Chain A
Amino acid sequence: MGKNLAGKSAFIVAVLVIFCFGIVGIPHGGLSQSIKDRIHLGLDLKGGTHLVLEVHVAEAVASTTDRDVARIEDDFQKAGIAGATVGKTDPARPQTIVVSGIPAAKLSDARSILQGNDYSSYDVATTADGNSTLTMKLAAIRDLETRTLDTSIETIRERIDKLGVTEPVIQKYGLGENQILVELPGIDNSAEVEEVIQSTAKLSIHAVTGGPYDTDQAALQANGGTIPADSMLVRGSGSAGAPEMVWLLKRVSEVEGTDFRDAQPSQDQNGRPNIRFTLTTEAGDRFYKYTEAHTATSATPGSMAIVLDNKVREVAGIQSAIRDSGEITGGFTQQQANDLSLMLRTGALPASISFLETRTVGPTLGATSIHQGIIAAIAGMLAVMIFMLIYYRGAGINADLALMLNLIILLGFMGYTGSTLTLPGIAGVILTIGMGVDSNVLIFERIREELRAGKTAAAAVQQGFAHAWVTIIDTHVTTIVSAMILFLFGSGPVRGFAVTLAFGLFANLFTAVLVSRVIFDTILQKKERGAALSI
C-alpha cells in the first residue's frame, strides 16, 4: 500500500499533541486548573453579571448645540450685532439652532460668522427676512454619536476597573444601535455596579438667574409666565438638609464634566464629607473671569448652583474670584463623596444611560449547571461508545478513538482562539458528537454493505469511505454554512452555539475521515490478504 501510513499517523499524532497543548497550555498547578485557565466559561456557567445598556446619544447632540448657541451669542456680541435671538425652538430637533432678529445692517456680518469655519459642522439655511437655521450635518451627528458611545465605553471601563472586577468585557453590543454590553464575571449582586455605571456624574456649575421658588408654577409666575430661552428650571436643595426647591439657572454651564482635572473626597472644617476639585487651566481662566465679574462686592453680585445629574446640590454666593480649585459641599455621605469623586476623576458620562437587560447568575447555579452538564455529557458519551464497541466490534474502537480525538480537537480550538464555552455551546458539542457518531455509522454501514456485495475487505473499506465521504461532505458543509450564518447574525447564546458547532464539525471531518481511515488501513496492512474485517 503506497498510502504513506507512517506519514499520516505522524500527522495525526502531531495534531493530537498540538490540540492537547491548546486545552492545557503549559501544565501548571494541576490539570483541572490548567484547563480552567485555557477554556473560558461563559457567565451562565461561571456566574456573574451581564448587562446591556443604551447610551442616550441624542443628549450629547443637544448639549453640543447648547454650547454652540452660547458661542454664537458670544461671537455676535464681539462683532457688535445686537438684538438677535439665538436659540433652539423645537425640543424634538436638538440638532437645530434658529437665529432670528438680526438687524438689517448687520446681516452680512452675521452671515459671515455663521458660515465661517467655527460652524462648519452645520448646514446654514437663510431665509429672505435674514433669519438663519443651523442644522447639524448628518455626518457630524453620526461622528458625535460614535464619539459619545466610545467615550461612554471608556468611562465605564475605567469605573469598573477601579471597582476591581477581573476580566470584565465592555464593548459595543451588536444587536442595537448605541448599546453597550458589559459582562462582569463573579459579580452576582449587580445593584452596586449598576449604580456606579449608571451615574452619569454629570456635574456642572451654573449661574443662578432666579429663585429659589417653591414650585414650578411659582417660578413661572415670577417670570411673567415663560422661562427665558437661555434659562432652565432645576429642582434640588440648596444646602444640606434643606427642602427641595426650584431654581432658575442659566442653561449654559460655567464649568462642566470635562473641565475637571481632579477630584478627591475630603471633609470641610465641620467634618462633613465634601469633594475638592481642580479645574483644567483653560476652564480655570474661564471660571476666574466669570467669578471675578460676579463677586459679592462687584456691580453684579451673583450666586452659582452646583448641579449633579440634573439636580441642584448646592447654591452658594460668589465670595471671591475662584481660579482652578474649589470644593463642593452637597450633603453627601462619605460613600457618596468617595463614589462621586471617583466618577469625576474618570470623567462624566457624555450622556445618560439606561439598562435594557440585566442577567445575574449566582456561582452555585453556574457550578451546578456545569456539574450536571458534565455528568450528562459523560453518561451520554459512555453509552454511545459502549454501543459502538458492541455493535461494530473492532471498528467500534475506531469510532470511539475518533470521538475522543474529536472532543480534544474541539476543546483545543476553543483554547487557542480564546472562545467561551456557554450552555448553548454545550448544545453545539452535543450536535457535534451526534454528527461525529453519524459519520462513523455512515462509513461502517457502507463498508458492511460493500462486504455483503462480496467485495474483499480492502476494497470494501476503500469503497465505503469513498461513498460515505460524499454524504459526510454534504452534511457537514450544510451545517457549517448554517453555523457561520448564525455566527455572523447572532450574538450571545446563538453565537456560543455556532462557535462550538463550527469547530466541532471541522474536527469531525478530520477524525471521521482521516483518523478512522488510517486505523482501518493499518489493520488491513497487518492482515493477510482476504482475512475478514472486524466490523
Chain B
Amino acid sequence: MSLELFRTTNIDWLGKKWYFLGFSLIFSVAGVLSILFWHHVPLGVDFKGGTQIRVAFTQTPNEDQIRQAMDRAGVHNALIQRVSDPSGHAANKVIIALPESTDQTHDVGRQAVENALAANYHGQATIEQVEIVGPTAGKQLQRQAWLATLYSLIGMLIYLWFRFELIYGVAAVVAVFHDTLITVGAFSLTNQEITLTVIAAILTLIGYSMNDTIVVFDRIRENLALSRRESLHDVVNRSINQTLSRTVISSGLTFLTVMSLYLFGGEVLHGFSFALVVGILIGTYSSIAVAAPMLVAYQDWRVKRGKVASLPAGKRAKA
C-alpha cells in the first residue's frame, strides 16, 4: 500500500471565505499600517543610497567602542549594527551604515570609516564588503525593480487571459499582489531591509504563487468542461480538494528547500530566504483563499446583474 496524505478530502473551502478574508485582512492591514506609520518600507542601501560597510572582527566587537572610534574619526552619523544570522556564524560581523551621500561625495564616507578602523582596530578588522550607492543609482534601481515586476505581472496576466479568461488572470494577479503586500509588510513589521536580493526573492515568490494558482485554475477549467450542471461553488471546492495533496506536497517540499536555505544559507542570504519562507506559505494559501474565491465572487456578481449564469470554462487546451 502506498503512502497517501489526503485520499479523498471533502472540505468546503469556499464556505470558509470569511475566515480567509479576515486572515488576509489582518495581515495585509498590519503590514500596510506598519508601512505607512511605523517602520515604513525599510529600504536597503541599494535603493535608498548611502554607504554600507561590512566588517569582520577577530573577536566579538563592542558596538559602543566602534561608535566611539567612528566619532573620533569625525563620522558622527554612522549606524552600527550586528549582522543577524540564525546559524550564528556571523557573530563577529558588523555593518556600519552611513546615510545618503551625494554623487559628488561618493567615496568620502568609506575613506573615513576605513581610516577609523585602521587607527583603532589595526589587524583585527577586515572589510568584507563595501556598498556605496549614490542617489542617482538608487533611484534608477528602484525604478527598474518596480518596472520589471510590473511588466512581468502584465505579461502573466496576458498569457492567462489568452489561455483561460480575463477573470482568471485578474484573480491570479490579485492573489500575487496580496502575497507581495503581505511579504513586504512582514519586512516592514520586522524592520528588515529590502535589498536587491530580497527583490529577487519576491520575484521568486511571485513565480511560485502564480504556479500554485494556475494548478488550481487548471483543475477548475477541466472540471467545468466536464460537468456543466454542477454549481461553480461545488466545482471550485472539488478542484481545490482534488489538487490538495499536490498542493501540500509541492509546497511542503519547496518550503523544506527554502527552510534549509534560511537555516544554513548564511547571513548574506538571510533577508532573501526570509522573504521566501514567508512567501511560500502565503503563496500557497492565496491560491486557495484568494484566487479561487475571487472567481466565485465574480460569478455571483454576474448572476446578480442577470448576466450569463455560468463562468466560461476558458479555452480548453488539447490534452
State the A residues within 8 Å of B (CB): 44, 52, 54, 175-176, 190-191, 194, 354-362, 364-365, 368-369, 371-373, 375-377, 379-381, 383-384, 387-388, 390-393, 423-424, 426-428, 430-431, 433-435, 437-438, 441-442, 445, 448-449, 452, 466-467, 469-471, 473-475, 477-479, 481-486, 489-494, 496-497, 501, 535
Bound-state Cα–Cα, A492 to B7, Å? 46
**Are the C-beta atoms of A433 and B200 separated by less than 8 Å?**
no
Contact of A364 among B107, B110, B126, B257 (CB under 8 A): B126
Residues on A with C-beta less than 8 A from B166 are none
User: Considering the chains assembled together, what is the distance between the CA atoms of A60 and B152 in angstroms?
Assistant: 38
Q: Determine the chain A residues whose CB is within 8 A of the CB of B126 once the complex forms.
A: 362, 364
Q: Which of B13-21, B202-210, B295-303 contacts A (4 or more CB under 8 A)?
A: B202-210
Residue of A nearest to B93 (CB): A365
Measured in the bound complex, the distance between the Cα atoms of B266 and A364 in whole Å is 13
Q: B268 — which chain A residues lie within 8 A by C-beta?
A: 44, 365, 368-369, 372, 423
The residues of B that contact A494 with a CB separation of less than 8 Å are 144-145, 148, 196, 199-200, 203
Task: Pull 19 A–B residue pairs with CB atoms less than 8 Å apart, ordered by A.
Answer: A356-B103, A362-B129, A364-B56, A369-B266, A379-B260, A380-B257, A380-B259, A383-B253, A384-B257, A393-B2, A431-B208, A435-B207, A438-B215, A442-B215, A442-B250, A449-B242, A470-B319, A475-B214, A479-B207
Residue B256 is within 8 A (CB to CB) of chain A in the complex: yes
Q: Which residues of A contact B196 (CB under 8 A)?
A: 424, 492-494
Contact of A376 among B110, B133, B245, B265 (CB under 8 A): B265
Q: Which B130-189 residues have C-beta < 8 A from chain A?
A: 130-134, 136-137, 140-141, 144-145, 147-148, 151-153, 155-156, 159-160, 163
- With a CB–CB cut-off of 8 A, which chain B residues contact A486? 148, 152, 203
Smallest beta-carbon distance B270→chain A, Å: 11
| Contact in complex: B214, A471 (CB < 8 Å) | yes
B134 close to A355 (CB less than 8 A): yes
Residues A475 and B203 in contact, CB atoms below 8 Å apart: no
Q: How near does chain A come to B221, taking the closest CB pair, in angstroms?
A: 9
B263 within 8 A of A: yes
Asked whether B258 lies within 8 Å of A430 as measured between CB atoms, the reply is yes
Q: B269 an interface residue at 8 Å Cβ cutoff?
A: yes
Bitwise, B68-91 to A at CB < 8 A (1) or not (0) is 000000000000000000010100
Knowing A176-B140, A361-B128, A466-B319 are in contact, say whether A489-B218 is a contact too (CB < 8 A).
Answer: no
Contact B207 A482 (CB under 8 A): yes
Q: Are B218 and A373 in contact (CB under 8 A)?
A: no
Whole-angstrom CA separation of A251 from B201 in the bound complex:
54
Q: Number of residue pairs across A and B with beta carbons under 8 Å? A: 253
Check if B222 is an interface residue, CB within 8 A of chain A.
Answer: yes
Give chain A residues whose Cβ lies under 8 Å from the Cβ of B201: 427
- Where the two chains meet, the residues of B that have a C-beta atom closer than 8 Å to any C-beta of A are 2-4, 7, 54, 56, 87, 89, 103-104, 106-107, 110-111, 126-134, 136-137, 140-141, 144-145, 147-148, 151-153, 155-156, 159-160, 163, 196-197, 199-201, 203-204, 206-208, 210-211, 214-215, 218-219, 222, 242-243, 245-246, 249-250, 253-254, 256-261, 263-266, 268-269, 272, 276, 317, 319
Is B152 within 8 A of A442, CB to CB?
no
Chain A residues lying within 8 Å of B319, measured Cβ to Cβ, are 466-467, 469-470
Contacts of A445 in B (CB 8 A): 243, 245-246, 249
Q: Are B129 and A360 in contact (CB under 8 A)?
A: yes
Minimal Cβ-Cβ distance residue in B for A383: B256
Asked if B254 contacts A437 (CB within 8 A), the reply is yes
Q: Once the chains bind, are A373 and B265 in contact (CB under 8 Å)? A: yes
Smallest CB separation, A481 vs chain B (Å): 5
